[in-house]
Amino acid sequence: MAKGISRRMALGAASALAGAASLPSGAWAAASVRPVNLRIEWLTAPRGIDTRRPRFRWEIVAPEGARDVMPGISRVIVASSEAAVNRRQGDVWDSGLQKGRLDTQPKTPLKLASHTPYYWAVVTDGQWSEAAQFVTGVIDPSEWQGQWIAAKTDPVPGTHVRGMNMVLTPPEETVLPIFRTDFDAGKVARAVVSVTGLGHFELTVNGKPVTDSLLNPGWTEYDRTIYYTTYDVTKLVNTGGNRLGVWLGNGMYNAERVKGRKTKFSHSYGKPKFSLHLSLFMADGSVKRIVSDKTWQVSEGPILFSSIFGGEDVDARRERPDWDTLADTTTDGWRAALEVPAPKGRLRAQPIPQVRQHQRFETVAITEPKPGVFVYDLGQNFAGRPDVVVRGPAGATVRIRPFETPGEDGMVWQRSFNAGPEKGWVEYNYTLAGRGEERFVPRFNYHGFRYLQIEGAAPKGKVSAGQAEIVSVAGQFCYTDLPQTGRFACSDPLFGRIHRLIERAVLSNAYSVLTDCPHREKLGWLEQNHLNALTVFYNRDAVTMYEKMVHDINDTQKTDGMVPGIAPEYMQFLNPDGSDQDARNSPEWGGAVALATWAAYRQYGDPQVLADGYPAMRRYADYLASRADGHIVDFGLGDWYDMAPDGKLGPSRLTHRALSGTATYIQVLETLSKVAMVLKRPATEIADATRRHAAVRDAFNARFFKPDTGSYDRDSQTANAMPLALGIVPAGQEQRVLAALVKAVRASGNGVTAGDVGFHYVVRALMMYGRDDVLFDMLSVTDRPSYGYQLAKGATALTEAWNADPTKSLNHFMLGHGEGWLYGGIGGIHVDFADAEGRVITVAPKPVGTLTAADVAHTTVFGEVRSRWKREGKTINMEVDIPPGAKARIVVPGAKAARFVGSGHYRFTGAVA
């Protein structure tokens, strides 16, 4: 019998379950609790589950007006058919009865078959959920029968060259291949395909794409891990003849340097290649496999050039109509594909949602800064793809160049991309086939932009003889399909604009890694993953992204324990002598191995992410110890992009890098001890981390604290905020250091001088010590470096620099820390699964400044938490919604003590001074 469940409870629950099972559909609508939002491995109805011990999770809902609803007795069943799950028969797995849970995981591996659908359901206190489905990928790697095939062999098989390789790839070598194969099928009951293509692929069945997603598979450290994706293609397979078609792109796998085109770096894990495994489950019970091998045909496609950085060129005259359907019977130009050695990485199912188009931006203005040159303004800086429709004669070429802000002449200016005439352009070139209206959308490139400059074509009314006509210009806003988890509104329109500014940058950088920017680098810089964790979590359900991040770090960490600043590490920032540059090795970046992982646990409550990351955390803590001198860590970038008076941007200038580096070291050690406790590691490991934490803390204060002034280091915002936020200020000195921090803020006219690292701690420290009034003032500023200043300069996404320097990225989310105050201060919503009192949710709004109202909501693993308040004079009327299954701490403005509540809707009245 399950631990903690009495015999009487078990018998009563069993009776309730049996009764519920016999009820007709819909008869339990009046029951008190109902399971909803069923997820497996954090995904809804996923395809490609490749673990035999998947994690099952759900939420519960209760009737309107109910309070203090907690999960009671629950049970999960997994069945081999929909009929079985509807009969409440768990013929694959039955969890048995469990008490007070919203998740479960089999203790022993389930007997799951590859490419097979399974059905599962949850019953809680007698009420069944709707049935949910998942489809397995290839459970046992030895079952994968597809060979790796390509158009060309790698120059040196298995070689991976990283960095700034200056060798140019000739144009004839950049044409991308297409592949096809034919097969016959009888009556098919089910067809499931798993496929991977490096760097990216698109798969069609009888000319129809298997998905509307793009840039598959996700980016990884390809020498260690390669993702595949799985699709149910039953409806696309015909009885009789069929054809599979595959497009391949370079992505991050093969970043080539081509004359005249932008690239951040050039490196290659190899030439594009793919592997495919299709299972046909026939109506007669037999199984047929269609796999990639040397019997496939390959040809050069219409994509002449494709770079994840430099754009994409297409010659539509080379397109072969119906090449991926049986209607095309030509064989000219096709040859046998080559079987090539498998890449080094381990093949596994992609654990994160795929990238899709979520919004479309239409043209809001057209200018002609120079005869024949047209600039289309889409009104918003975003990441995605141009969507351009043209018509004209065959052979006419249209050039499209994206950019974020125009130059002084009103034309394309790619300085913020670190691109242009000297460093190579980001551009798209489309040569028309002359078949009426033709639509160009790049397949294997995305970019951040607001404007598109078009040459070689003109809008209607300005078309010259023999020239192409521009029919329409739009942009596709694309990002990883992460569920929305936040809504923010308040009485101050500026704060609403700041929220949208930050959110737009977060989404623009949510691809298969959280990138710094969607144009210049597209790299997974790690510092933002912990410093901006709340910014991401408040807006999107990013648990899968953070679990992937842990694996990326594990794959990237070096043998000495060092964690590079980016993961996957597609570019190594090295000095000429081979030593690491500060950009490669900074504690504030590498510390994400512990700090971002801990942030994910606090938000989502699943200790699996801690278990996956703990060994790497320990190695990194030991690495920092090996680099410390008297416990002080003095290397790296420090408080990147802080705002010195002269406006020069780069490594820390206002705060000694040893302060931020050592403070990060302290935080890593503190986190290590907390993780060890959650994982129930040996007491010696906990004691060791605790002892080391105390030693480094004492050395930090001895080095940086100034007792005569009650401040730290150079008295910067960052220097005073970090020790306050981390709770390492000498006892009794906290208010003096807080006063020094506030003084530093006021001295800058409430503008921000802290950088990428420091502003996170400024927000934390001021919130911890109740100085939300200072944060209100900082976020209200518009005439000096701040969020408001960026908006005043015309930004539509968060910029890289506080001063909105147009030569820097204009779509960067590293400075998005203020979102933590918008949700956690104005809305007062906090989630913490490490809360010492077990109150995961806290709602403690701060109606400061001239704010008169707010309505803030955040979806947690329990459901939506909502905080609404309105100020009338000195009275605050407050409404709070806590979802079923949760316990919360409510701090009403003006109240002397917190209130502790369960789920439900609550109204409170408070007061402000």
Query: pLDDT value at position 387?
Result: 99
Is the pLDDT reported for residue 1 higher than 60? Answer: no
Q: Please write the tens of the pLDDT for every residue from 337-346.
A: 999 999 999 9
Which of the four pLDDT bands, split at 50, 70 and 90, describes residue 838? confident
Position 580: which residue type? D
Q: Please write the tens of the pLDDT for every residue from 347-359.
A: 999 999 999 999 9
Q: Please write the tens of the pLDDT for every residue from 438-482.
A: 999 999 999 999 999 999 999 999 998 889 999 999 999 999 999
Is the pLDDT reported for residue 2 higher than 60? Answer: no
The superfamily (CATH) of domain 144-352 is Galactose-binding domain-like (2.60.120.260)
Confirm if 415 and 401 have CB atoms less than 8 A apart.
no
Q: Could you tell me the two tokens for 791?
A: 């908006």
Residue intervals in the chain for CATH 2.60.120.260? 144-352, 356-480
Query: pLDDT value at position 153?
Result: 83
Q: What is the assigned CATH class of domain 828-913? A: mainly beta
Which of the four pLDDT bands, split at 50, 70 and 90, describes residue 168? low
Q: What are the φ and ψ backbone dihedral angles of 593, each rounded to 5 degrees? A: -55, -35
Correct CATH for 356-480 of 3.30.300.20, 3.40.710.10, 2.60.120.260, 3.40.50.150: 2.60.120.260
Any idea what the Cα angle at residue 667 is, between residues 665 and 672, rounded to 5°? 95
Confirm if 482 and 545 have CB atoms less than 8 A apart.
yes
Is 194 in a helix, a strand, or coil?
A: strand
Tell me how far the alpha carbon of residue 66 is from its chain's centroid. 35
Which of the four pLDDT bands, split at 50, 70 and 90, describes residue 740? very high
Is the pLDDT reported for residue 382 higher than 70? Answer: yes
Measured CA to CA, the distance from residue 402 to residue 351 in angstroms comes to 32
Name, in order, each residue with C-beta under 8 angstroms of 908's C-beta and a sequence gap of 6 or more. 877, 878, 879, 880, 890, 892, 899
Is the pLDDT reported for residue 62 higher than 90? Answer: yes
The helix (H) or strand (E) run that includes residue 448 is strand 447-455
Is 620 in a helix, a strand, or coil?
A: helix
Instruction: Let me know if domain 7-136 sits in CATH 2.60.40.10.
Output: yes
Query: pLDDT value at position 3?
Result: 39
Query: pLDDT value at position 18?
Result: 38
Query: pLDDT value at position 54?
Result: 98
Q: Please write the tens of the pLDDT for every residue from 507-535.
A: 999 999 999 999 999 999 999 999 999 99
Measured CA to CA, the distance from residue 462 to residue 467 in angstroms comes to 10
Which of the four pLDDT bands, split at 50, 70 and 90, describes residue 173? confident
Which of the four pLDDT bands, split at 50, 70 and 90, describes residue 913? confident
> Which residue, 413, 321, 347, is CA-closest to 375?
413
Dihedral sign (CA 608, 609, 613, 618): negative
CB atoms within 10 A of CB 326: 14
For residue 365, CA distances in Å to 153, 279, 388, 447, 468 come to: 47, 50, 15, 20, 20
Is the pLDDT reported for residue 31 higher than 80? Answer: no
Is the pLDDT reported for residue 420 higher than 60? Answer: yes
Instruction: Let me know if domain 492-826 sits in CATH 1.50.10.10.
Output: yes
Q: Please write the tens of the pLDDT for every residue from 107-162.
A: 999 999 999 999 999 999 999 999 999 999 999 999 999 999 999 887 654 444 45
Percent of the chain scoring above 70 in pLDDT: 95
Is the pLDDT reported for residue 16 higher than 50? Answer: no
Q: Please write the tens of the pLDDT for every residue from 268-297.
A: 899 999 999 999 999 999 999 999 999 999
Is the pLDDT reported for residue 15 higher than 70? Answer: no
Query: pLDDT value at position 651?
Result: 97
Residue intervals in the chain for CATH 1.50.10.10? 492-826
Q: What are the φ and ψ backbone dihedral angles of 671, each rounded to 5 degrees? A: -65, -40
Report, as an integer, the average pLDDT of 648-652.
96
Q: Could you tell me the two tokens for 591?
A: 């510390």
Query: pLDDT value at position 837?
Result: 87
> Which residue, 445, 451, 413, is CA-closest to 428?
445
Q: What are the φ and ψ backbone dihedral angles of 363, each rounded to 5 degrees? A: -65, 135
Virtual torsion, Cα 400, 405, 407, 413, nearest 10 deg? -40
The whole-chain average pLDDT of the chain stands at 94
Which of the four pLDDT bands, split at 50, 70 and 90, describes residue 800? very high
Is the pLDDT reported for residue 24 higher than 70? Answer: no
Report, as an integer, the average pLDDT of 238-249.
98
